[in-house]
A and B are shown apart, each in its own frame.
Chain A
C-alpha cells in the first residue's frame, strides 16, 4: 500500500462522514452514526491485533470497560476532568495489557482465546461486584465532557447527537490514520510477518514476543478510548460494556468486514451497529438474521466483506 493509497482511503471515509448528515431526516441518525464510529474505533484496534499480528482476543471488552469506568470514576473520586480521565483509562489499559500480555501471548490458538476471555470476564466481574465503587450491575452515571457547553459559550449551539457525531468521527479518523501508518511501518511489517509464520519471522530476527505485546497494547488502548467515548456520550455506564457479549460483538464486526482491512473493519462495525436499528420490526428474528449473515459471509466471503469484494472486482487480482 502506497502513501497515496492511504490518503485516498482516509479521504473517502472523511467524505462519507461529511456528506451523510445531509441525508439525515432527524437528529436520531447522528446518534446512530456516533455509535457506529465508537464501535469502529475499537474494531480498528482489534484489526491491528487479529488482522496484522494474527493473535486472537475474546476479552477486549475488558479494556473498553476500564476506559468507560475511568471516565465515570476518576471525575467523581479523584476530581479529574473527564478528558484527562480518557487518558488515564488508556494508560491503565496499556499498563494492564503490558502486564498480562507477556504471559498470555505465549499461548497460541484456542488457549490464547480462552486466556483473554478469562481476563474480560474478570474485569466485568470486578465491575459488577465492587458495588461501593462502581454501583454494581445497576451501573453509574458519567459526568459531562463539558466540551459542548464550551462550544455553546463560543456561540456555536449544536445538539448532543451532532456533537458526538463530529467528535467521534475525528477520533475515528485519527485512529484509522494511525492504524494505516502502522501497517506500512517496520513494526507493522514485523506483525504481518509473524502472522504469516512465527518461525519464519523469528529466523529473520524479529523479536516475536515483543511485537505481539506491542500489538496487544495498542489494540487495548483503542478499545479503552472507545469505551471512554461510549461512556461519555451515554452519560451512564453499566458493567455490560465489559461483558463477554461485547467482546464477541467486536470480533464479529472485525471478521464480518474483513479482519485484515481497516476499512473493512469500519464497514463491519457500521453494518452490525445499524442492523439492529433497521431490524426493530423483526426484533424477534434479529439474532436469527445476524447469525445467518455471519454464516453466509464465512462460507462465501471467508476473508470478510470488503477484501473479498475488492478481490472479486479486480478479477482475483492481488
Chain B
C-alpha cells in the first residue's frame, strides 16, 4: 500500500521527487465515468499546472506533490479517497469534487479534518451555508439565470416561455430561474420540459409558440438537448429571441445546431470561450490566453470551461499557500479567505468570511452567436 502511494505520487508528478521540502496537494476528480467530460480536462489541467509551477521553482522554493485519484463520479469512492488523501497521503489541501454529489461527500471529510477544499461543482448548496474550509470556483445556476434576465430586461422583455431538460443540470437551473424571475420583473407564461435523450422537441415548442404574449424563450439544459431545441426552433419558424444556458457554451454546440439555426442565440459564458476576441485591455485576457495556449499545446485538444474551473482552483490554492508562507492547513484556509482580485479564467475572485464563491455577475459575459462565431455583447 505504501508502495502504491509512492507510485501514485510519482505518476502524478511525472518525475522523481527529491527529499527536499514539499507541499502535498490532493485531488479527487471524476476522470472516468459519466462525468468524465468534466473530470478529464480538470485532471489534465491540474497535472499540467503542477509541472509548470514546479519547473518555475515551486511555491516559495518548495515543490508541489499532487496526489490525484479518479473517483469515477461515485460519491462513495470520493469519500474514501478524501479520507485517504487526508490520513494516508497527508495532504494539506484538496481540490476536486467534479460533481455536486462527489463534492458533498468530500466536503464533510474536509470539514471534519480541517483541510481547505476547493470544489469544482456547480450547486449553490456547496457554499450556502458558508462552511469554514469549503470554497468553490464555478458560478452557480442562479447567477446564470440572473445574467440572462438582466439582459432580457435591457431588451424590454418581460414575458417568456421556458423549455428545460429534466437532467440534473436542466432541472436545477429551471428551479433557480423560476425563483429569481420575479426579482427581475420577468413572468414565465409557459414552462415545458424534455428528457435528456429526446430526439424531437417540436411539440413543446409549438405549444410555446401558441402561447399568447411570449416575448422570448429560455432553455436551461445540457448536452445534445439544447442543440435539438435550437434546430426545432428554427424549423417551426419561431421568431423570438432564444436564450441558452452556460451549459452549452462550447464550439461543439454550434457544430450540432448548424450555423443558420444558431444565428442570434444568446447565452452567458466565461471569458475562456471567447479568449481570441477578448479586448486587449481586458483583465482576464493574459490569464485566459496563457492557459488556453499551454493546454492546447500540451494535449492537442480545445480548452473547456471545466478545465478552467480546475485552473482557477489551483491558482487560488497556490496563491493562498504562497501568501500563508506555510503549509499549515489552517493558515492556508485563512489566506484563501483573504483572497482579493485573483484573476482566473472563470472570473475575478474575491473571497470573504461570508462569500466562499467570490464571483459576481460580471464573471459572466453575455454572448451572441453571429455567423457561427461567438460575439460579446456586454
Enumerate chain A interface residues (CB-CB to B < 8 A): 25-29, 31-32, 35, 128-129, 131, 136-139, 141, 160-161, 230, 234-238, 240-241, 276-278, 280-281, 283-284
Contacts and interface: CB of A to CB of B under 8 A. Distances in A.
Contacts of B104: 138-139, 141, 236
B53 interface: no
A278 B1 CA distance: 7
Interface residues of B, number: 39
Given A28-B84, A136-B172, A160-B112, 7 more contacts: A31-B80, A35-B76, A137-B167, A240-B74, A280-B69, A281-B8, A283-B31
Interface in B185-203: none
B105 interface: yes
Contact of B101 (A27, A137, A278): A137
A135 B81 CA distance: 24
A276 B74 CA distance: 12
Given A240-B101, A283-B32, A276 B77 contact: yes
Chain A interface helix/strand/loop/mixed: helix
Interface in B57-85: 69-70, 73-77, 79-81, 83-84
7 contacts: A29-B88, A31-B79, A35-B76, A137-B168, A138-B104, A139-B100, A235-B105
A83 to B, nearest CB: 20
A131 B171 CA distance: 8
Interface in B316-354: none
B127 to A, nearest CB: 14
Contacts of B88: 25-26, 28-29
Contacts of B271: none
Contact of A235 (B73, B81, B108, B166): B108
Interface string B119-155: 0000101000000000000000000000000000000
B235 interface: no
B4 A278 contact: yes
A128 B172 CA distance: 12
B105 A131 contact: no
A161 B83 contact: yes
Nearest to A138: B100
A136 B99 CA distance: 13
Nearest to A235: B108
Contacts of A27: 83, 87
A141 B107 CA distance: 11
Interface string B1-45: 110100110010000000000000000000110000000000000
Interface string B165-178: 01110011001000
Contacts of B75: 139, 234, 236-238, 240
A129 B75 CA distance: 19
A129 B166 contact: yes
A97 to B, nearest CB: 24
A280 B112 contact: no
Contacts of A235: 105, 108
A235 B69 CA distance: 21
A36 to B, nearest CB: 11
Contacts of B123: 138
A290 B75 CA distance: 20
A132 to B, nearest CB: 9
Nearest to A141: B104
Nearest to A283: B70
Nearest to B100: A138
A82 B4 CA distance: 37
A234 B76 contact: yes
Contacts of A236: 75, 79, 101, 104-105, 107-108
A31 B108 CA distance: 14
A281 B11 contact: yes
B80 to A, nearest CB: 6
A138 B166 CA distance: 13
B308 to A, nearest CB: 22
Contact of A234 (B73, B79, B87, B175): B79
Contacts of A161: 83, 87
Given A26-B87, A234-B76, A240-B75, A280 B8 contact: yes
Nearest to A135: B125
B11 A138 contact: no
Contact of B175 (A128, A131, A238): A131
**Pairs of residues from A and B, 7 with the lowest C-beta to C-beta distance, nearest first:** A137-B168, A238-B101, A283-B70, A27-B87, A28-B87, A138-B100, A28-B84
Given A236-B108, A238-B101, A281-B11, A25 B79 contact: no
B168 A31 contact: no
B80 A25 contact: no
